[in-house]
Amino acid sequence: MKRTLIVLGLLITLAGLTTDARADDGYRLWLKYDLVSNPQKLRDYRTSVRGWMISGSSRTIQAARKELRNGLNGLLGSEIPEVDGIGEGNILICGTYRDNPLLRGIDLKDKLEEAGTEGFVIMTGKVGGKDAIIVAANTDIGVLHGVFDFLRLLQTQRDIGDLDIVSFPRIKLRILDHWDNLNGTVERGYAGFSIWNWHTLPVFIKRRYIDYARANASIGINGTVLNSVNADPLILTHRYLVKVAALADVFRPYGIKVYLCANFDAPITLGKLKSASPLDTNVRKWWKDKADEIYSLIPDFGGFLVKANSEGQPGPSDYGLTQADGANLLADAVRPHGGIVMWRAFVYTYNPKDRAKQACEIFKPLDGKFASNVLLQIKNGPLDFQPREPFSPLFGAMPKTNLMMEFQITMEYLGQGTSTVFLASLFKETLESDTYAKGKGSTVAKVVDGSLDGHTLTGIAGVSNIGADRNWTGNEFGQSSWYAFGRLAWNHDLTSKQIADEWIRMTFSNDAEVVASVERIMLESRENVVNYMDPLGLNMIFGYDNHYGPGPWVDWSPHPDWNSTYYHKADSLGVGFDRTKTGSDAVSQYHPPLSAEFASLTECPLKYLLWFHHVPWNYQMKSGKTLWDDICYHYYAGVDSVREMQNIWNSLKGKIDKQEWNDEQMFLDIQEKEAVWWRNACALYFQTFSKMPIPAGLEKPDKTLEYYESLKFPNAPGTW
């Protein structure tokens, strides 16, 4: 063993010789499997895992075997043999109860029942009188999930001396939504082209497709929607379906089903029918035939995601029918095959009194009208993925409907591809919000996991931030939000801190200072963005169309609700959207006591203040400051926090891979410049209404409002 250690030391030295060429490019994500750095832990692990075995021969088990081999050999730094018996013990035994006779000597019945079809059990125990670590499951995919979880224990340097883990997903469908266009661009994508190369499929299978599946399986994601919700009907042609089938074949061993966005007008554009009406029998037949064709190519096809009657997309309203009529049309087509339909609740008209109210107005009356294999997919907030929104009041409003969460991992409104924002905090904030639908404790999480209303078809979707950039997400910290989405979809009780801790250890280092410092950056990062972009409940004041940078002055759109001024309603009296009874009364869409709390100027949480209230500039805040001063201090605090993130990161130089460190240093530099831009532009703009000075002691903006208003970004990424 000593000999190996010496060799490893040399290995590291030699690897260091060509540092530049071998700097970490981030491609491996959180599955790096580098040598365990803590010598004591390394010794422990080597003692506990002298060999390993895995039963079964399916492609899923083959994938798990490969993962085990690469993972153990990498983490333990020498070849850990695959064995065929318990021998002297200290063996890792993986498999299903059915396939592995060795497991039958242990009573795993209760644990396995809890683990269900996708979960797993990890425990230390005796097998044939010898010490063993067991990764057991009811299914092969459960085994694969367990293998990834066991490797994570080593990656994060946990104690594995006394394991007793049962883990299973709380939500049934855990899905990544790709807003990828068929020409390779990605709507709201900030990490390069689409990872799907439709042109070279089905023949060319990129290594990245496999690594995509590995990464997702390692965090329990079990579905992927391949194309944008603004769906090109071409994806449903045979030529493309063959390509989709090739991807489904790559993902299948990893327990990941493929879904597609369907264009509601496909019967017209592809089928040459005169109508796409759900009442038209030819239309119903077209969808049924199309579903049959898809399932003949992809027997485990997941189903459809549909954006209908939204931002120019066709839908059932075109025929005077309801959203439920539309959803049920497609649901009928896929039901015989076990497929489902995810129907988006992001539907609005362009000139509403209050766009935030529209989803409830449209969908609440339809509760109970949706087919049993439909999920209504609802964005976390009532508007559109803002840095902060209260939860959508649809959660808690439709007990008879399968309600699915839609988060956005790509940061359209949170600094896009360059900012460092760990989104677990945002996801958790929504999931932990109490709807009070059935009294206290009726959290959004319980709506989504089905426990509140007894649903079993449950789902959660995250709009992907993945692109063809080598490190997948542009800024490597974007990986942490992808990771967090998967981990929370599996178990929403995990804390942001737990998830950050895991990700940092697997990505950068297990060094205590690195973990603590990066954790601080990550856990505070989302609030920092809110502070310099949208404090106190402000929202939707972004650059027009590209949503890049501040644009509180935007007032030229023919659609009133595409203007920033529609949302902030700044005037000489104050700022904010009155959603109380004197205004749009959106507060009434929430259950008591929330409705009253939000409606009260004094009780409303400060973070939602200007979301629900139009507040005078000189209003006296609880802090003692005027509203104007408080807004200013938030903007300035946001910038200061980014500078503090820079200080912390700078202190880690030499403790993190050189390339990863360099890249983040430059990204933080960009973020600092953008934070100052947001702060200055917004303070100067709102000052034209408040007519009040920026509080003394704060640095004055060095550019004029006219300068900021003149900035144009015709080539900002993600706008296709």
Cite the active site residues.
311, 384, 412
CB of 76 to a copy of itself, least distance (A): 10
Name which position in 61, 182, 294, 375 contacts a copy of itself (CB under 8 A): 182
Q: Which helix (H) or strand (E) holds 371?
A: none
Q: Peptide bond before 202: cis, by omega within 30 degrees of 0?
A: yes
DSSP state of 515: H
Residue 712 backbone class (left: φ over 0; alpha: ψ -120 to 50; beta: rest): beta
Q: Binding residue for a copy of itself (CB under 8 A) from 385, 542, 667, 686? A: 667
CA distance 45 to 158: 10
Residue placing its CB nearer to a copy of itself in the complex, 182 or 452: 182
The residue among 454 and 714 lying less far from a copy of itself, judged by its C-beta, is 714
Contact set for a copy of itself, span 90-149 (CB under 8 A): none
Q: HSE of 361 in the Cβ direction (CA atoms, 13 Å)?
A: 13
Q: Which stretch binds a copy of itself (CB under 8 A): 6-14, 405-413, 502-510, 575-583?
A: 6-14
User: In this chain, which of 70, 124, 349, 646 binds a copy of itself, going by CB under 8 A?
Assistant: 70
- What distance in Å separates the CA atoms of residue 401 and residue 385, rounded to the nearest whole number? 23
Give yes or no for residue 350 binding a copy of itself (CB under 8 A): no
- Tell me which of 439, 624, 654, 714 binds a copy of itself, using CB under 8 A: 714
Among 291, 184, 178, 206, which residue's Cα sits nearest to residue 241? 291
Provide the token pair at 276. 């796409």
Residue 204 vs 350, nearer CB to a copy of itself? 204
Question: How far from each other are the two terminal CA atoms of the chain, in whole angstroms?
Answer: 56
Q: Which residue, 233 or 701, has its beta carbon nearer to a copy of itself?
A: 233
Among 2, 20, 624, 696, which residue sits at the site for a copy of itself (rule: CB under 8 A)?
Answer: 20
Q: Could you tell me which residues are beta bridge partners of residue 406?
A: 379, 461
**Interface with a copy of itself includes 692 (CB under 8 A)?**
no
**Nearer CB in complex with a copy of itself: 70/349:** 70
Angle at the Cα of 316 from the Cα atoms of 312 and 317, rounded to 5 degrees: 70
Nearest to 414 by CA among 293, 304, 515, 525: 525
Site string for a copy of itself, 227-266 (x = CB under 8 A): -------x--------------------------------
DSSP 161: S
In the list 79, 88, 513, 571, the residue contacting a copy of itself (rule: CB under 8 A) is 79
Verify binding: residue 200, a copy of itself, rule CB under 8 A: yes
Is 661 a binding residue for a copy of itself by CB under 8 A? The answer is no
* Contact call for residue 193 and a copy of itself (CB under 8 A): yes
In angstroms, give the least distance from the CB of 707 to a copy of itself: 12
Cβ contact 284:334 at 8 Å: no
Residues 21-40 as x/- pattern, contact with a copy of itself by CB under 8 A: x-x-x-xx--x-x-------
- Find how far residue 228's CA is from the centre of its chain: 16
Instruction: With contacts defined by CB under 8 A, name the span among 66-74, 98-106, 287-295, 612-620 that binds a copy of itself.
Output: 66-74
Q: Name residues whose C-beta falls within 8 Å of residue 55's C-beta, 6 or more positions apart in sequence.
A: 61, 94, 95, 96, 99, 100
C-beta neighbour count of 618 within 10 angstroms:
13
Does residue 203 interact with a copy of itself by CB under 8 A?
A: yes
> Is residue 18 close enough to count as binding a copy of itself by CB under 8 A?
yes
**Residue 36 or 431: which CB sits closer to a copy of itself?**
36
- Assess contact for 416 and 718: CB atoms under 8 A: yes
Q: 459-463 and 303-306 as β-strands: parallel, antiparallel, unpaired?
A: unpaired
Binding of a copy of itself by 14 (CB under 8 A): yes
The structure tokens 């539907």 sit at 347
Give Cα 225 distance to the centre of its chain: 13
- Hey, which residues between 640 and 659 contact a copy of itself (CB under 8 A)? 659
CB of 64 vs a copy of itself, minimal distance in Å:
14
Smallest CA-to-CA distance from 555 within 420, 709, 452 is with 709
Number of residues that bind a copy of itself (CB under 8 A): 55
> How far, in Å, CA of 314 to CA of 266, rounded?
10
Which residue from 5, 250, 321, 716 is in contact with a copy of itself, where contact means CB under 8 A?
716
Rg of the chain (C-alpha set): 26
Position among 85, 128, 204, 623 found at the interface with a copy of itself (CB under 8 A): 204
Of the pair 279, 666, the CB lying nearest a copy of itself is at 666
Instruction: Select the span of 82-90, 117-125, 178-186, 346-354 touching a copy of itself (CB under 8 A).
Output: 178-186
Assess contact for 657 and 508: CB atoms under 8 A. yes
Which residue has tokens 């402000």? 538
CB-wise, 45 or 343, nearer to a copy of itself?
Answer: 45
Here the tokens at position 214 are: 């590995």
3-class DSSP assignment, residue 575: strand
Q: Where are the alpha helices (DSSP H) in 449-602?
A: 478-490, 496-507, 512-533, 564-568, 594-599
**Measured between alpha carbons, how far is 257 from 254 in angstroms, rounded to an integer?**
9
Give 438-442 contacts, CB < 8 A, sequence gap 24+: 442/396, 442/591
- What residues between 468 and 497 interact with a copy of itself by CB under 8 A? 468-470
Considering only residues 81, 116, 125, 184, which one is a binding residue for a copy of itself as defined by CB under 8 A?
184
Q: What part of residues 394-453 is at the interface with a copy of itself (CB under 8 A)?
A: 417-418
Interface with a copy of itself, residue 205, by CB under 8 A: yes
- Interface residues with a copy of itself (CB under 8 A) are 7-8, 10-11, 14, 17-21, 23, 25, 27-28, 31, 33, 66, 69-70, 73-74, 77-79, 182-185, 192-193, 198-200, 203-205, 207, 234, 417-418, 468-470, 659, 662-663, 666-667, 669-670, 673, 714-717
